[in-house]
Every structure is written in structure tokens, then in C-alpha cells.
Amino acid sequence: VSLRQVERIFTEATGLGPKAFLRNVRFNRVVRAFCLGGRRDLAALALESGYCDQAHLSHDFRTLSGATPAAFVRSLDRMSLFYNKSRPK
């Protein structure tokens, strides 16, 4: 089986090419880490998630989400405050 055939089979099975699929996997790792309230050091998170560096993470994040990582984290914080605020008795 040639490399091109493997790529074609992969694309048929997942709907994405191998590179696009891997890009989405890395992005989802970062989003999950943010949602779980984990470490927010972007350089370390980038390496743990499979990015080459922080700039690569930031570029992909803006491209795929339309927001910077910092703006995304702020939106999570706002949602957390909204859903976890004390309810009057």
C-alpha cells in the first residue's frame, strides 16, 4: 500500500487528512486542559500537547477557535462565575 493510498483511506475514514486530524487532536488537548483548569503556562502546555512551541499553539488556536488562548480562558472564567455563583435562598 502506498503512502498516498493510506492518506486516502485515512481521509475517507475520518473526513480529514492526517495533518488536519492531528491539528484538531492537538487543539482539543489544549482546550481540554483549559476547561479542566489545568496549568495555563502556554509554553509548557504547547509542548505537552504536541506543538513545537507556544507561537505554533497560539496560531492554531486563533485559526481554529477565532480567539486567542487568553481570550478563551477569560470566557471560561466568565462562564464559571455565571454558573457557579451563589443562589439566593
Instruction: Give the pLDDT score at 37.
Output: 79
**H helices within the chain, ranges in order?**
3-14, 18-35, 42-49, 54-65, 69-84
Instruction: Give the pLDDT score at 89.
Output: 47
Q: What is the pLDDT along the chain (89 residues), one digit of tens a residue?
A: 899 999 999 999 999 999 999 999 999 999 999 888 765 789 999 999 999 999 999 999 999 999 999 898 888 877 665 555 554 44
Instruction: With CA atoms as reference, report the closest residue to 65 among 37, 16, 31.
Output: 31
Answering whether pTM is above 0.75, one says: yes
Question: Reduced to 3 states, what is the DSSP secondary structure of residue 48?
Answer: helix
